[in-house]
Structure 1
């Protein structure tokens, strides 16, 4: 973690097979990540780090439950991003999906993600 530009909250757009899915992701200066998207029912928690002068990566896990609240699995999400300006980044992401016992069910990668910073200082 060395890129202070990432710290703060960002609105995101995930390209999910041609459909734009809005979300929010917040990056803490200490490397923590909190993320949510409209196509998930729960928040994701994880970490981020700088990988170069204008690049970074982050990952987080989302717990999944059925309508009765029973744990039905997890999504492990990972994203690689690059700054295109001080208040905008773009990248690609993917996810792997696991059952409650930790067996991988399916996964995907290469989904486009764009983000714009917002907040009181923007």
Structure 2
């Protein structure tokens, strides 16, 4: 039995950690399985689904708000993220992968990422 019958439905503030960097975000999880994400650099939309008691998977495509250059010097257009996360009394945390795509649609690079968030509403 889940301690969180609605899963992650609601508004969350969190951070994602990757390659020694940290980006803060606000995420809104909707009952229909959709989600939206906002950071200083990007806006994203995606989906989430329950994967077990107090666990969920989320997929988000984030489009950059302005021109972004990768660490390799290539212009990038968007990032695709996949996370598996677990809910707890203090929020949620998870691990996953971020894949960055260039303006030509090619993969610029992929990296492991971790996230944690607290419910804000």
**Matched residue count:** 111
Matched, 1:59 2:59: yes
Moved over 3 A (4+): 16-20
| Alpha-carbon distance change, 81 to 17 in structure 1, aligned in 2, over 3 angstroms | same
Report the equivalent of 2:31.
Answer: 29
CA shift in 2, pair 1:46/1:3, >3 Å: farther
Deviation at 1:88? 1.0
Given that 2:18 and 2:111 are in contact with CA atoms closer than 8 Å, whether structure 1 keeps it comes out as: no
| Ranges in structure 1 where 5+ consecutive residues have no aligned partner | none
Q: TM-score, normalised by structure 2?
A: 0.78
* Contiguous gaps of at least 5 residues in structure 2: 69-74
CA RMSD of aligned residues (A): 2.3
Per the normalisation by structure 1, the TM-score is 0.78
Q: Pick the structure with more strand per residue.
A: 2
